[in-house]
Structure 1
Amino acid sequence: MAYATPSESVDSELRCSICLGTFVCPSTLSCGHSFCLQCLDATWETASSFSCPQCRATFPVRPQLRRNVALVNLVEQLRVGDGMAAVVMCDICGDGHTPAVKTCLRCEMSYCFSHFRPHVENPRLRDHAVVDPTASLDERRCCNHKRELEFYCTVDRSLVCSSCTIAGEHKGHDVTMLKDEHETRKTRVGEETRAVEEKRKEAEESVKRMEAARKEAQESVAGIRGRITGKFARLKKALDEDEREVLQRVAVKERELLSRIDEDIARHKQEIGELQAAAARLSNLQHERDSLAFLQGHLEETRRYRSSMPHD
C-alpha cells in the first residue's frame, strides 16, 4: 500500500533492528528486545533454532509472538506528536501522489475519491467495511493468524480474529462481535463521560472555592499587615518623641556640667597665675640683703597669701 515515508527523526528506540524501520505490529521477546512481528516470522521461517536477532539469546521452542500494544500506541503517539503521520495514497492511481479518502478493510486497499465511487454505487461493495485512510492495516489484523480482528474476547479482554476463537488460545471463550461490543461500550462511555464531566465540574467548583478562600486570606492578611504597620508607626513616633525629649534634657545637663567645669578651670588658671607671680616675688626676696626691705616684702607676701585663702 502506497504511503509517504515518516520523518527520519523517529526515536531510534522505536526502530526494528532487522528492517531498520519504525516498528510495525511490534512484538517483544522475553529477553526484552522488540522487533516487527513480520520480521521475526521471516527470520525464523526456515531456522532450525530460535534466538534473538539482537542479543542472540536462544529459546528452546519458538516463542509465541504477540503484539506489544504499549509500543504500538507509543509509535502512533510519536507520529502524531511530531507531525509525522503517514499520508495514505490511493493504491489504484499510478502516479503515487493522489491522497486516499477511504480505506476498505475487506479489499485491504485505499482509494481516492474517484476510485472509491464503486464502493458507494455497486450494491455488492456497499457492505464492505470502510474507514478513514490508514496505512496501518497490520494493526487491524491478528498478529498470530494475520486475519482481520472481528471479535472481542470478554475473558481476556482482547481483540481476536475468527481463528483465535476456533483453534487459538481464545478457543471456548465468550466472544462478541466488535460492533456489539462497540454499542455496549458506547453506552458505558456515555456514562463515564457524564461521570468525568461531573467530576470536572466538581473540581472547577473546588477551584473556585479555593480561589475565593485564597483571595479572602490575602485580604485578611493585608488588613492585619496594615494594622501592624500602623501600630508600629505610632509606637515609633512616640519613641522618637521620647528620644527627643530625653536628649534635650541630657543636653541641658551637659551644658550645666560643662559650664561648672569651665568655671573651675578658669579659677584654677587664675590661681596658677597668681602663684607663679608669688613664686617669682619670693625668689627675688631671697636675694634681698636689706633686712628692712626683706621683712617688709615677706610680710606683704604673707598678707597676700592669707587673703587668697578661702574663709570659713
Structure 2
Amino acid sequence: MASSTGDSSVLEEELTCPVCLDLYRDPHLLPCGHNFCLQCLRRLKGRSERGRLRCPECRQTHRCAAAWQKNFKLANITDGFRRRSQPERSTQSRSEPEHSRTEVQCDYCPAEGADGGKAVKTCLKCEVSMCPTHVRPHLELPAFREHPLVEPLADMSMRKCSDHDEMLRYYCVDERLFLCNACTIEGTHSGHTIKTLKNAMKDLKAFLDIQQHKTSRKLLKVERNKQEQTEIERHAKVYRDDTDQHLEAFRESSVAHLDGFLSSLRDSMSSYDAEQSLGVQQNLSRISQDQSRLQEVRSGFQRLQQQSDAFQFIKDYNSSMKRYRRLLRKPLFFPDEPAVDTEPLYETMEGKMEEFMAELRQSTSTLLNTVCEFEGADGEEEDENEDEESFDEDEDDEDDSEEEMRSEEEEEEGQILTASDDEDYTPEEEEEEDED
C-alpha cells in the first residue's frame, strides 16, 4: 500500500503543470519540449514582450506566433489519473490525522481570504510562503531564477541558524552541521570541508549508489543460496520417492509376516528424513533472514534516493545511515553442503533385519542395498571416484569464492576509504579515496 501511494505521488508530480501547479488541463507542447496547460500558455503570451515567449522551465524564448501542438497522449494520461485519484484523495483526506492536514497560509494573501490562501511553495531566499497566484513571478520572471523553492514551511526557524538567524545554506562535512553565511565567515569552521546543501546531497547520493550496488550484489548471492537449498530439498524428495517405490515393490513380493519389518523400515526412513529436512529448513530460515535484512536496507536507500529536499535528505541520512550500514556489515549465512550419509540408516536396518527368519535374510539384504546404495556393490569404486571429483570441485569452488571475496574487498577499498567499524563516513573520504 505504501509503495502504491509513493508511485501515485511520483506520477502526480510528473503530471503537474509547473505554472499553475495543478494537474494538466489541455496540455500543449512548446518547441523546447516542455508541456504546459493551454490556459497557462495564454497567460504567459499575454505577458510576453516583443512577441517572444519565455519557457518557465528552461528559460528558452519562442515566438508567440508559433503554433502549439497539443499533447494528446499526456492529456489522456492526466484525465485518467484525475478520474482514478478522485476517490483515493477523498478517502485519504478522511483517513489522514489532523496534524498531517495542517496548511501553510500564503504570506501575501489576507488572513480571511477565501481564495488562494493555501501556500504551495516557500522561497528560502525571500523567506515567504506563496499560493499558486503569488508564486507565478518566481516561476516566470528571470529575476527569481536563483531563488530556491521548497515545499511549504510552517516554521522557517527550522531552516535558520540559531546563532545568526540566517538561512542554512551550507553543510560542514567534518562536523555534520548545517551552516549559514555568517558561520562560514566567522571562521569557526576554518579548515573544515564545507559544501552547499545541493552538492552535499549529490555526494551523499553518490555514496548511496555504491551501497545500493553492494546491496543488490548481496541479494543476488542470497537468491543463489536459496535456489541451491531448494534444489537440495528437491533431490531429497526424489530420494524419498524412490525409496518408497522400492519399499512398496518389496512389500508386494514378500509374505504377510514382513509387514512389521517394513513398518520399522519406514520409521527409520522418517527419522532420517526429518533430520535431513530440519537442517535444510534451518538453512532456508537463516537465508530468508539475510534476504529480509538486505531488502530492508535497499528499501531505505531507495527512500533516501527519492528525497528531493536537501535538508530533509541529509537529516534522514544522518539518522538512518548508521543502522543501514550496520545491517549491511552483518555477514551472510553460507550453509555447508549437506552430505547424504546413509550409513547410520543402514546399520539400524541391518540390526532389525537380524530379527527375522533366516530364509528372508537374503531378500532383505538386497532391499537394504537397493535403498541405501543405488549404485550397488559394483558401483563403490564409481562412488569413490565421484567423491574425489566432488572434493576437487569443492576445492575449486572455495578458491573461486576466496578470489571473489578478495576482488570485492579491493573494489570496496577503491570506492570508500573507511574501516569496517567506521560510523562517521563523509563524502570527502570518498573523494580522497578516488584520488588515491
- Give the structure with the larger helix fraction: 2
Greater Rg over alpha carbons, structure:
1
Give the TM-score, by structure 1 length.
0.41
